[in-house]
Structure 1
């Protein structure tokens, strides 16, 4: 609602209504709220377009799981005479990853250098590894990492490890994890990810060894938490936390809601 109010003020203002940066921000705002039709309408009514504007709209459709639409926009952008930049390729490859468009992602990745003279960077390799790994092409993802010019960054290996966790692939997961142990010696999440892979395949001896190693390195898993803002105060909630006086009431309410949701006929 606040975003619409601000958009209305922009439309009324002669000073800001033609500002490309503000238009891009409004497109992004509507997309993050899931209002893609509004994003497209703002894009259509903009007097001046830039590569950033096209990229913003491409990314907007991608993060909302509409990879096919992102690809259409990508082709329309090129046909309109705009040359994609590094950020554009990150956006379209990410869109392919969200929608499982493996062949299209490969084609675009390979076209970066041959058609546009852009050398794929770390973020592009990470997107491709995520795309291939997320949908089970772990061997291809590993080969891509190995072919990375120079030393692959932690983000690239991390994408591979995450994919191995999803698909319970211990062999490739170990390769990625032990490389990450070298690159990010103090990052406990990499140890946790490998431990989860070991658990999923029943390798409990490996789990115990890994947890023992974490203790030796004094690595502690950062607990997950939720935040809520009440009367300009931020309250943080950890699992099992009973420090706030209202927590007993909160847990009782959650327990009641859980029981209601488990009823065969729903609410009574």
Structure 2
């Protein structure tokens, strides 16, 4: 019987937005399960690297740049020889009602939250095909299913992630590659620390599980979807939100 703690042994995983929050938790979780990690962020993810140890590669880069993805790929090839798993976690969000939202903010949101997923696929699908194995786990959001004013740009980009996941899954399934999306709830990270307690309580009251999501909750789902145990799961959008998202 395989040791589930080493379910990712021998795999090389790229995690974007790995410097903190959900990305950091995902990287630490995958490393604990045996993966070698490539920690991608716009700033150096040194704290995450210290948490993981020597079997990690820190790579700064802009996930909206094809040139940066190619450079990161070269670094990974030189250090580890292959890429097996890509977790597209990097993202931005702001609360702007349509009256305040301008086109530049719209385009930047889509570039980071969605275009980066396309660029990673273009870079890494060919080598995953050669290896007949690969995993893409792309972070969407459960916000697409709940009522939050001022989030049209964010929701549209995160809904786009689901569409891209579904389409890409059909393109690559014949090569042993799976593609799935994880839809986190509002999660207890630095970005949400200043949320008023009343807003947090209102969030919990919409959930079956009455607490804030922690980064480790999201990391567990990503770890499963990037493992061999999830080999027959692809093109799916998986809410990880304590039962907040209402299926319709």
Superposition TM-score, scaled by structure 2 size: 0.29
* Structure with the bigger percentage of strand: 2
* Structure with the bigger percentage of helix: 1
Superposition TM-score, scaled by structure 1 size: 0.27
Higher relative contact order, chain-length normalized (CA < 8 Å, sep 6+) = 2
Larger radius of gyration: 1
